[in-house]
Amino acid sequence: LWGKTKNGKSVLAMDRGFEPYFYVEVEKEFLKTNELDNLKRRIGELKEFGEKVKKIELVERKYLGGRKTFLRILLSNPRDIP
């Protein structure tokens, strides 16, 4: 995170524990099957993405006034977020 002090000096704040991620909404049918395990396996098999994707997990979040289920996809590098 870049910023400036009140005196106009540039500052940089780094959070070394931050893990870049994005969400993908999933349908209820996705939850009733082994699709999450299949997706993890297939991504791991792709050299192009296997090393970039650190973790995939199911999460529930508020969205447009309701609760929805999403895949939270954690990446190795913020530059890999689409």
Q: What is the pLDDT of residue 51?
A: 72
Q: What is the pLDDT of residue 49?
A: 63
H helical segments located in 1-82: 28-31, 35-45, 47-50
**Amino acid code (one letter) for 3:** G
44 is written with which tokens?
A: 């791991």
pLDDT tens digits, 17-42 = 888 999 989 887 777 767 777 777 77
Reported as a pLDDT band with limits 50, 70 and 90, residue 16 is confident
